[in-house]
Structures are given as structure tokens and as C-alpha cells.
Amino acid sequence: MTDTTREWTLAERPRGEPDLDCFDLRERDRPKPDPGELLVRVRYLSVDPYMRGRMRDAESYAEPWAVGDALKGGVVGEVVSSADGRYDAGDLVTGNGTWGDHTLLDADEVAPVDPSVADPPAYLGVLGMPGRTAYFGLLEVGEPKPGDTVVVSGAAGAVGSVVGQIAKLNGCRVVGFAGTDEKTEWLTADLGFDAAINYRTADDYGAALAEAAPDGVDVYFDNVGGPITDAVFGELNLDARVAVCGQIAHYNDEETPTGPRKLPLLIAPRARVQGLLVSDYATRFGEAADRLAGWVADDDIEHRETVVEGLENAPDAFLGLFSGDNVGKQVVRVSSPE
């Protein structure tokens, strides 16, 4: 045990697709917790598509990272040193920390991790921000009703895989778009999706969707954008709801992307399209946590994490999100129990 720790910083802003030059692994003194803080040895850290937005020099819902800043995100880790009465050394917690071997966490903003409910990395996926996003996005924006057809893009990702399963629990027909046969097989064989379309091999998304969703689309949960979304907008039913959760197809665009105009398609079905940020539901995170944990405990929701080994590979894990390397939640294993 040394007095130093490593953490990833933003070396330069990406232009277009990020690469490893954007990241710099620095060594620094291990920080000490101020009152109310915890020093945590990181077990797992989360890489998420939205982080691409924080690498831009533009105000958005998440503050941009400055060049030289430590990268931050969801972590699960073990308390090494506590300056808060509620937590002791050895406790397993989750919160927002740095991409590092160690991180400080604000004790007010951490939650306990209970390995008897689910393995720790699940607290970065189905029991973490992605699960909450799926929960509120589908139920509050999508408003699924029994018998509705729900279409999900990025369906095998951390958010999409939970969206589809909650939709099934609500009595919906569920169709997912994903990028490999392994993923589509997982969706239909393990997660109970009614149909899944491999967008890398499908010739005609519209035709594939018309077959998979013969009664049209009542709810579309969009994580992707681009041509998949173009096809779905052509199939919207009367009073359809579209939750715009992510647009990963466009996060690396340097120029404003162009495509078919969609507004003319909204009038006849009176469709509603709404941007979604999970933080708007912060006062109800406890409700989501309880229900998601219950579904996981009852095996009503399956989850999978794709684990990349080693802090040094965190940038690779992040970049892999844009090529669809992950099935379920992408995490990085930083350390193991001692």
C-alpha cells in the first residue's frame, strides 16, 4: 500500500471519434477525506455514453470537463477511510467518483451496495443510473399500456435492456434493435423480447420493423438516433410517445447531422417526442431503487455486465461503447476484494 493513486484525466478534447490520446493516466497523492467524505478504493467504475458530452467544450446538462480534469462517473468501491459517522472502513458503497484507484465520495451522495441483492457491478447498471433512466424514461415519458408495442434502440445496452424488460412486465409487445446476433439472441431468448433486429445485418429497417411490429409503434425509447430512428418514426401509431434518452449515433459528429425531417410525421399520429434526463426524477430515486431491486431479486429482470479488466483499460472500455462492444452494462474492474 502506497500513498499515491492513479486517475484518468482529460488530456485533450476529441474531434469526432475520441481516441486514446484524449486520456492521460496520472499518479497523484492519495487524497484524505474531509469531514463528510469517504476515501474509497474503487472496485468497479462505470463508462457511459453521456460522458462523451462532457468531453466537449459546450455547456449542456452535464458540466463539461476541463482539459486536465480527472474524469468522473459512477463507481462501486470499499470505504478505506471514513470521515462520516454513517460509514465505516470496509463498507461497500456506490456514488460518483473519479476514474481512479481511489476516489473521494461525498457521504451524503453515496448509497450502500448489498451483494446479497446483486453483484456489485449491477449497482452501476440495472440498480444504478442506467436502470433508473430506463425506469423513469419508460414509465413516465413512454407511458406504456398493456398491449402497446414498445420499440427500443440500443436494446442490448445498459438502459435498453432494462427498458424492454420493464415494458414486458407492463404487458407490452417489445421489439429491440441491437448490433450483433449475440445481442439479439440475448434479447429474445433471455430477456423475453418478442423480436429483435440486428441493425448491422438488416437490409431495410422499415421492412424489418413492419414485420416485427405489425401493429405499429406506440412507444419508442431511443438511445441511438440515426437511420434506426428514421425507420421507427415512419411507424408511429396514434398518440405514440417517443422518449429521447440518447443519440449515440451522433455523439461523435463534429458537424450538425442531417437526415429526413421528422416533424411532418408527427402531425397525423399526434405523436409526442420528449427529451429525457433521469436527474429530473431525483426525488423518486428511492422508489426506482426499490422496484428495480425487487424485480432483480425475483428474477423478473435479468442483467448482464461486460467487464473490462484494469483501470489502465478504462478508456478502451469507454471507446468500446461507440462500437457496441458491450452487452448490457459496460464496467471496468479496478480492483478485487483483498
* Residues forming the site for its own copies (CB under 8 A): 60-61, 222, 225, 229, 244-247, 250, 256-264, 266-277, 280
C-beta of 2 vs 258, nearer to its own copies: 258
C-beta of 11 vs 244, nearer to its own copies: 244
Judge whether 97 and 38 are in contact, CB under 8 Å.
no
**Shortest CB 4 distance to its own copies, Å:** 37
CA atoms within 13 A on the CB side of 52: 23
d(CA 245, CA 187): 19
Judge whether 157 and 184 are in contact, CB under 8 Å.
no
**Shortest CB 268 distance to its own copies, Å:** 5
d(CA 60, CA 48): 16
C-beta of 122 vs 271, nearer to its own copies: 271
C-beta of 222 vs 235, nearer to its own copies: 222
**Shortest CB 269 distance to its own copies, Å:** 6
Cα(first)–Cα(last) distance of the chain, in Å?
Answer: 12
C-beta of 260 vs 310, nearer to its own copies: 260
**Shortest CB 217 distance to its own copies, Å:** 14
Nearest Cα neighbor of 26 from 77, 102, 93, 78 is 102
**Shortest CB 276 distance to its own copies, Å:** 7
SS3 call for 82: strand
C-beta of 62 vs 66, nearer to its own copies: 62
**Shortest CB 265 distance to its own copies, Å:** 8
C-beta of 277 vs 297, nearer to its own copies: 277
Nearest Cα neighbor of 329 from 137, 83, 122 is 122
d(CA 226, CA 249): 6
C-beta of 26 vs 272, nearer to its own copies: 272
Residue 259 C-alpha cell reads as 437526415
Nearest Cα neighbor of 33 from 86, 112, 99, 74 is 86
d(CA 53, CA 69): 15
191 secondary structure, DSSP code: S
**Shortest CB 157 distance to its own copies, Å:** 16
**Shortest CB 66 distance to its own copies, Å:** 19
d(CA 243, CA 151): 11
Torsion sign, CA atoms 248, 54, 126, 102 = positive
Torsion sign, CA atoms 88, 89, 90, 96 = positive
